[in-house]
Amino acid sequence: MAKRNIVKVGDPVLRKVSRPVEKFDDRLHTLLDDMVETMRAANGCGLAAPQVGILRRIAVVECVEGEVFELINPKIIAFSGTQEEQEGCLSIPGEAGITRRPKYVTVRAQDRNGNTVEYTGSDLLARAFCHELDHLDGKLFTDCAIRMLND
Ligand code: NI
């Protein structure tokens, strides 16, 4: 595994729409392993492929240590409730804001072998799913923050 560089805000790659993954091969597995390592090294709870410069629909989430979600070609298929909580992003260091997100989110995705999986998360995990999926469409939390917090 290898740690990759995290792209920072201002880089146009963060504003592009990522393409679906079609090949579930060793190259994808290496990327997923690297993304988890990179996320952990940065003390983040989620990372999307565009943040390491790769415009593919891939994200990893780990809100609770050891509970890693690998999301390939993910889609939100259900959501309910609302929450307003603090959010940040590894690509926007030093910034935080309050966002309004669903309290419960169900994601349908593929795992690293191409099998269909579904995960439901609440609270922080629901926020992380929304935040990482937004990255795959070139969206950042600062776009939807209802207010930013100053350091
Ligand atoms: Ni982010």
Query: What's the average pLDDT block by block, 10 residues per block, for the chain (151 residues)?
Result: 94 98 98 98 97 98 97 98 97 96 98 98 98 98 93 61
Predicted local confidence at residue 118, as pLDDT? 98
The predicted structure's pLDDT at residue 138? 98
- Tell me whether residue 20 is in a domain: yes
User: Which residues contact residue 141 at a Cβ distance below 8 angstroms, ignoring those fewer than 6 apart?
Assistant: 87, 88, 89, 92, 97, 99, 131, 134
What local confidence, expressed as pLDDT, does residue 151 receive? Answer: 61
**Ligand 1 centroid from CA 105, angstroms:** 17
Considering the domain boundaries, does residue 2 fall inside one? Answer: no
Per the structure, the count of domains in the chain is 1
Whether the CA torsion 132, 137, 138, 143 is positive or negative: it is negative
50 neighbors 14 (Cβ within 8 angstroms): yes
Decide if 26 is inside a domain: yes
Tell me which H or E stretch contains 131: helix 124-135
What pLDDT was estimated at residue 1? Answer: 76
* Structural domain containing residue 72: 12-148
Tell me the CATH number at 136.
3.90.45.10
pLDDT at position 94 = 93
Residue-level pLDDT at 150: 73
Return d(Cα 115, Cα 55) in angstroms, integer: 21
Is residue 3, in this structure, part of any structural domain at all? no
CA of 133 from ligand 1 middle (Å) equals 9
The answer to whether 57 and 134 are in contact (CB under 8 A) is: no
**d(CA 88, ligand 1 centre) in Å:** 7
Q: Tell me if 90 is assigned to some domain.
A: yes
**Global confidence as pTM:** 0.97
Distance between Cα 25 and ligand 1 center (Å): 25
Number of other CB atoms surrounding residue 88 within 10 Å: 17
Å from CA of 112 to ligand 1 middle: 21
What amino acid occupies position 96?
A: A
Q: Catalytic pick from 62, 87, 95, 132?
A: 132
**5: in domain:** no
Active-site residue flag, 37: no
In a domain, 40, yes or no: yes
